[in-house]
Amino acid sequence: MKTFTLAILLLLITGCSTQQYKLYWRAKDFALDRSPMVGLRGRDEQIVWTIPTRTIQEMTLVHLRISRAANIQSDLYIVEGDDPNAFATFVNGQRVIGINLGMVKLINGDVNQYAALIGHEAAHWANGHVDAGQTRTNTLNALGTLVGVGLSAAGVPAAGLITGVGVDLIDSSYNRDQEREADAQSIDYLLLSNYDPRGAITLHEKFLHRDRGLRLPFLSSHPSNEERMQNLKALIEAKKPAQ
């Protein structure tokens, strides 16, 4: 088993998460390794997780094919994190699609689910959602500061917290529209790349059946519910080639 040392970077994640420090590993750095397993090392040089090299290779190939279909250029990263997530963001000015370890564990090597996931994030890039999200975040932060000052002047307690919640709600609502657009576009990418688009349904079924307690889909940038799965099924039926 070959091991790879992590890199530490401040990721500005748009749409699917928040700004925070993350540990990440670039997939292509070990996609060609001949060892059967890849070991990902953490800050203390201890192995954080081991992944079959074949899984890394399949993820990398999916990323290459989907990127061609979407006509975008980006790097694929594996990122730390237990709660399954994926995102599109900039790293040092470069486009990145990130998949965290929680998502890798959830998908468990299913190439069509990886294709659905990467296709969705590629659609965010192709449709300009990341750039728009960054502009929107900057605008909302400025607006929130102004509103917070006004509330504080009026004697409202915890004005900053109230303002932040309002901004998050506006931002989340906007992102849901982008999520629907990314869902629709990703089906095209999967069909063009010869992956089974039903992998998207399987992936969302996994989310739906996860026992994580109370969920508030309307506050999430990646809601996974029956309505969304029905929409995906309708998209697949409408777009798939006639048999």
CA distances from 44 to 6, 23, 29, 48, 105 (A): 10, 12, 20, 10, 22
Least confident interval from 28-42, 99-113, 155-169, 202-216: 155-169
**Alpha helix stretches (DSSP H) within the chain:** 53-70, 101-107, 111-126, 129-153, 159-192, 199-208, 226-239
Sequence-ordered list of residues with C-beta below 8 angstroms from that of 225, at least 6 positions apart, any chain: 208, 217
Token pair recorded at residue 41: 């090392």
Find the range with the poorest average confidence among 26-30, 76-80, 172-176: 172-176
Number of domains, the chain: 1
Amino acid identity of residue 148, one-letter, is: G
Distance CA 88, CA 14 (A): 7
Ordered strands of the 2-4 beta sheet: 2-4, 37-41, 47-52
In angstroms, the CA 186 to CA 66 distance is 9
Residue 32 structural domain: 1-243
Encode pLDDT of 206-238 as tens digits.
Answer: 887 775 554 433 335 555 677 888 899 999 999
Residue 154 to residue 173: CA distance in whole angstroms: 28
pLDDT of residue 209: 76
**pLDDT tens, 126-184?**
988 776 555 444 433 444 444 444 444 444 444 343 344 343 433 333 367 788 888 99
- CA dist 67 and 28 (Å) reads 14
Q: Share the mean pLDDT of the chain.
A: 75
Q: Strands 7-14 and 20-26, how do they pair?
A: antiparallel
Instruction: Dig out the tokens for 147 from the structure.
Output: 């509103």
* Cα–Cα separations (whole angstroms), residue 197 to 78, 114, 204: 22, 10, 12
